Amino acid sequence: MARQYWLMKSEPESYSIEQFAREKTTLWTGVRNYQARNFMTKGMKTGDLFFFYHSNAEPPSVVGIGQIVDTNIVDPTAFDKKSEYYDEKSKKESPRWFCAKVEFKQKLKTPVSLSTIKKEKGLEKMLLLQRGQRLSIQPVQENEFQKILRLSEGALNA
DNA sequence: GCCAACGTTGGC
DNA sequence: GCCAACGTTGGC
């Protein structure tokens, strides 16, 4: 199975690329949307790469790259009453939520902003740009991945 | 199983 | 701070 590519969102105020760069690896917990969960449990494989995206940021941007280390880990925050992600409906015998272990690879030389992505030909189909979509984990095509990488190195980025 | 009310996401 | 889009909840 060829390597797949993803985009994973995080608000910099809750978990930023800087924090990720410092910790090197982290558990991507707190996914509480079934569609995002299914991408994570069914599609994601060890070795896949993902864009780290800052949502609710100024400007919202792709800021770095990470790699999937392990998948289908039961999300421990669902059982933690003190966690904001606690879900009483997720039982240890039949967990409802899962997370992935991810490793920091690099920050982009230049973040690629949402507005830049919107302007770039060939990226129109990205889920990120689809109307009303709010998925925190979404698949990215390889050519889209490469294109955004090139944007981060060129001067085209606004 | 329908659907109104409500909550959340996230760009602007 | 606003609000569109969408998911979830719960009454019936």
Span A19-50, pLDDT tens digits: 999 999 999 999 999 999 999 999 999 999 99
pLDDT at A88 over 60: yes
Listed as ranges, the nucleotides of chain C within 7 A of a protein C-beta are 4-9
pLDDT at A93 over 90: no
**Does nucleic acid strand B have an atom less than 7 angstroms from the CB of A37?**
no
DSSP string for residues in A110-141: EEEEHHHHHHSTT-TT-GGGSTT---SEEEE-
Check the CA dihedral A76-A81-A84-A88 and report its sign.
positive
Task: Give the model confidence (pLDDT) of A106-129 as tens digits.
Answer: 999 999 999 999 999 999 999 999
Q: Which nucleotide is nearest to A131 (CA to C1')?
A: C5
